[in-house]
Amino acid sequence: MAAVPKIDWKLEANGSAHHTEQYPGTELVVRRAQPFNISLAFGGAAPAPGSLKFTVETGSTSALQDKTRVAFGISSAAPSGGSWGAVQASPAASGSLSIAISSPASAAIGRYRLGIKTNTGASHLGTFVLLFNPWVTGDDVFMGNEAERKEYVLSEFGVVFVGSANRISTVGWNIGQFQEDILDVCLAILDRSLSYRKDPTADVRRRNDPKYVGRVLSAMVNSNDDRGVLQGNWSGNYSGGESPSSWNGSVDILRKWKDSGFRPVLYGQCWVFAGVLTTVLRCLGIPARMISNFNSAHDTDKNLTVDEYYDSSGNPLNIASDSVWNFHVWNEGWFVRPDLGSQFNGWQILDATPQERSTGIFQCGPASLTAIKEGDVDLNYDCPFVYAEVNADRVTWTYDTDTGKKTKVYSETKTIGQKTSTKAVGSNARRDVTNNYKYPEGSEKERAIFKKASEKLNLDTFNAISAKGLNPNLSGTLKSKSPEPKVGQDVDLVFTLKNLASEARSLTAKMTAWSIVYNGKLINELWKDSLEVTLGPQEEKKFPLKISYAEYQQRLTPDNMIRTTALCQLSQGNEIVVEGDITLGNPSITLKVLGQAKVDQPLKVEVAFTNPLNEEVKDCVLQAEGSDLLAERLKLNAPPLQAKQSTRLEFEVKPTKSGTKQLLVNFSCDQFQDIKAFETINVSA
CA angle 238, 241, 242 (to 5 degrees): 80
For residues 435, 437, 442, 444, the Cα torsion angle rounded to the nearest 10 degrees is: 90
Q: Cβ atoms within 10 A of the Cβ of 124, count?
A: 11
Rounded to whole angstroms, the Cα distance separating 547 from 657 reads: 50
Within 584-674, strands assigned E span 589-594, 597-598, 603-610, 620-625, 634-638, 646-653, 659-668
Q: Is 434 left (phi over 0), alpha (psi -120 to 50) or beta?
A: alpha
Rounded to whole angstroms, the Cα distance separating 266 from 567 reads: 38
C-alpha dihedral sign at 260, 264, 265, 271: positive
Q: Cβ atoms within 10 A of the Cβ of 317, count?
A: 14
Q: Which residues contact 132 (CB under 8 A, 6 or more apart)?
A: 31, 32, 109, 139, 140, 141, 210, 284, 285, 286
DSSP state of 46: P
**Environment class of residue 193 by beta-carbon count within 10 Å: exposed (0-12), middle (13-18) or buried (19+)?**
buried
Q: Could you tell me if 662 and 677 are in contact, meaning their C-beta atoms sit under 8 angstroms apart?
A: no
Q: Cβ atoms within 10 A of the Cβ of 374, count?
A: 18
| Cα 468 → chain centroid | 35
Q: Which of 320, 299, 322 is nearest to 390 (CA)?
A: 299
Three-state secondary structure call for residue 492: strand
Q: Cβ atoms within 10 A of the Cβ of 83, count?
A: 13
Rounded to whole angstroms, the Cα distance separating 579 from 649 reads: 41
**Regarding beta strands 561-570 and 418-423, do their DSSP bridges make them parallel or antiparallel, or are they unpaired?**
unpaired
**Residue 685, CB-side half-sphere exposure with 13 Å CA sphere:** 0
| Cα 442 → chain centroid | 29
Three-state secondary structure call for residue 188: helix
Rounded to whole angstroms, the Cα distance separating 620 from 626 reads: 21
Q: Which of 271, 283, 275 is nearest to 153 (CA)?
A: 283
Active site residues: 270, 328, 351
- Residue length, the chain? 685
Three-state secondary structure call for residue 544: strand
Q: Could you tell me if 517 and 557 are in contact, meaning their C-beta atoms sit under 8 angstroms apart?
A: yes
Rounded to whole angstroms, the Cα distance separating 488 from 511 reads: 22
**Regarding beta strands 603-610 and 634-638, do their DSSP bridges make them parallel or antiparallel, or are they unpaired?**
unpaired
Rounded to whole angstroms, the Cα distance separating 216 from 364 reads: 9
Q: Could you tell me if 299 and 395 are in contact, meaning their C-beta atoms sit under 8 angstroms apart?
A: no
Three-state secondary structure call for residue 678: strand
Rounded to whole angstroms, the Cα distance separating 137 from 291 reads: 26
What backbone phi and psi angles, to 5 degrees, belong to 80?
Answer: -65, 165
Three-state secondary structure call for residue 271: helix
Within 311-414, strands assigned E span 316-317, 323-335, 346-350, 357-358, 361-362, 367-368, 393-399, 406-412
